[in-house]
Structure formats: structure tokens, C-alpha cells
Amino acid sequence: MARFRALPAALVSLALLAFSPTAAPAQGAPPRPPVAPGEAGRIITVTGHGSVDATPDEATITLGVQTIRPTAQEAQDQSAAAMDRIVRQIAALGVPRERLRTAAVNLVPVRKPGASSAEVTGYEAVMRLVVTLDDLRLVGRVIDTAVAAGANAVDSLSFGLRDSSAYRARALRMAVQDARATAAAIAGAAGVSTLRLVRIDEIGPVAIARVGVAAPMAAPGGTPVVPGTLPVSVQIRAVYAF
């Protein structure tokens, strides 16, 4: 008859602990919320959103010169001359040179229409200039001046913020208040009277919607520009224990 030897009680206890559902999570598992013993499962997780309308204090304009001529040299020379006039005229408005930046210089052959055609009929030179303005009152004048100096493309106009920290702080306070109100509403509906904040995190980067519009060409009365406002938005996640 086979005989079985009883295992020591200590080994039995260790084996049961290893397979217990309360054992420590595997390496790489997400950390648990820092709740007190006995609070596991007694948590409310909510998100909060905050958004503040900010007044832009910076504008970015992208201007361009596009020239097509029979030879590459002619196309490049004419575009370069026009861009030089544009830069000088914009600087004459009081815009610092360091706020001007060349964004593109391209020279490509222009081929005869037709998918299989290799015949070159001319050359196209393209130059683009990015102008960053701190004085938004100059936006319309810069566009008009550039067009008068030879720009034949106004690719884009956008508004932004040099420093969004103050608006971000206000949006964060609103997001925390929003999360707290949501958690309180859930707790009240469930008959819970007391909540304790155990964790709070910001979700994702701060969202600042940069207004980008295709700028109109110069008009007799000048180019009208309306900066409007920019929403600065944040989102947080909060964990409450009850």
C-alpha cells in the first residue's frame, strides 16, 4: 500500500498564498490607486475638463513668391529680387529681422502637359517667408505691404500665445472643479456622503487651438484681420475613495 507523507503546515500556507487572488500583481502591471486598506473597490474615477478663452498676442504669416520663366536663372533671379523687396519693406514697418524666417526655396522644371511628356517648357521658382508678429495691429499692413512688394501667395495666417501658463493654470482649476462636481454627483446618487481624493493626473498635453486661415489678398481699404480668441483646454483624471 502506498504511503503519503503529510506536508508541513508552513509549506501548505505558502502554496495557498502563491495562488491567492490577493497576491501581488505581476511585474509590469499598472500600479493600483493609493487607497487605504479596506478601500479596494470603493473608488470613483472621473475626468474633468477645463477651457479658458485667451486673447492671442502673436501672429504668424506665411508669404510666398512664385515665378515661372523660360530659364532657371531668370525664374530664380526674379523670385529672389521680389523676396528681397518684401523683406526690406516689412522690416521698414518696424518688424525686427529676427522675426523673419525663410521657410522654402524651390526651383523645379515645368513640363509640357501630358503624363508621358518630358519636354521642359520653363522653370518655376518658389520662395516662402514666415513673419512672426508681436504687434497684431501690423498684421493687415504686413500682408498689404508684402503683396505690393511682389508677393503673389499668402499661404496662411495663424494666431497664438507667447506664454500660455496663466491660462493653463486657470483651465486646470476649472478641470479639478469639474471632476470634483462629477464625483460628488455620482456619490450622491449612490448614497455616499464622504469622498477622499487619492489621486489626480493630467491627461495629455495642453490643447491650444491655433486659428489658421487663408489670408485674403490686399483690398483697396486694406486687409481686414480679426484675431478673435483662442481656447486653452486641459483634461484631468481624478480618483476618489469612499
44 plus 99 within the same structural domain: no
In the chain, how many domains are there? 2
Residue 26 has pLDDT above 70, yes or no: no
Q: Is position 12 within any domain? A: no
140 Rama sector, left if φ>0, alpha if ψ -120 to 50, beta otherwise: alpha
At residue 221, the pLDDT reads 54
**Rounded mean pLDDT of the chain?**
83
At residue 218, the pLDDT reads 41
Q: Is position 173 within any domain? A: yes
Q: Is position 51 within any domain? A: yes
Read off the CATH number of the domain in which 211 is found. Answer: 3.30.110.170
Question: Of 129, 160, 191, at which residue does a domain stop?
Answer: 160
Q: Is position 119 within any domain? A: yes
Please choose, from the candidates 202, 192, 197, 176, the residue with its C-alpha nearest in 3D space to the C-alpha of residue 240. 197
d(CA 125, CA 105): 8
The pLDDT confidence band at residue 161, using thresholds 50, 70 and 90, is very high
Question: Of 128, 144, 160, at which residue does a domain stop?
Answer: 160
Q: Average pLDDT of 99-111?
A: 95
Residue 66 has pLDDT above 70, yes or no: yes
74 plus 117 within the same structural domain: yes
Q: Which domain holds residue 151?
A: 58-160
pTM of the model: 0.70
**Are residues 156 and 212 in contact, defined by beta-carbon separation less than 8 angstroms?**
yes
Q: pLDDT digit string (tens) for 178-198?
A: 999 999 999 999 999 899 999
